[in-house]
Amino acid sequence: MFFNSQERKINFGLLVMRVGLAVLLLIHSLPVLLGGAAQWKRVGTGLSFINIGLPPEAIGFVIMLLESLGALSLLFGYLFRTFSIVLAVVYCLYFFNYYNIGYRTLMLYSLSLASVFIGFFNTGPGRYSIAVKLEKKNR
């Protein structure tokens, strides 16, 4: 293997997981976020069980914005732990939405992603993130 230590293998694994999930989250959230009010309403209507007094468009916009910002956080490493928790909460909301509807596969998918984000919260971004590299450079 081209890594000579276990620490480098672990950090490279974190990098692959972070970049892979970030790309998938961006593919999922950006078209909806840029799709306008009709797309936001679709997402907000799907999460109507939240019912905090906001229109579905606002709920959909906030969820897609949080997902997009979380993906960028995964990609670059800035506010990594904060957005890991935010994404875990978002995917727990998806879990309860799919639980109410009865989609078993999507329910398990969202619960597994929530657990991955909780794991990311515990590990951090790893040494191969832009935030860590810039922080070391400024010291």
Contacts of 88 (CB under 8 A, 6+ apart): 114, 115, 117, 118, 121
**Any idea what the Cα angle at residue 136 is, between residues 72 and 66, rounded to 5°?**
15
> For every one of its 139 residues, what pLDDT tens digit does the chain have, with 9 covering 90 and above?
566 788 888 889 999 999 999 999 999 999 999 999 999 999 988 887 877 888 989 999 999 999 999 999 999 989 999 999 999 999 999 898 887 777 778 888 999 999 999 999 999 898 888 877 777 777 6
Whether 58 and 114 have beta carbons less than 8 Å apart is answered as: no
Q: What is the pTM of this model?
A: 0.86
Output the pLDDT for position 139.
Answer: 67
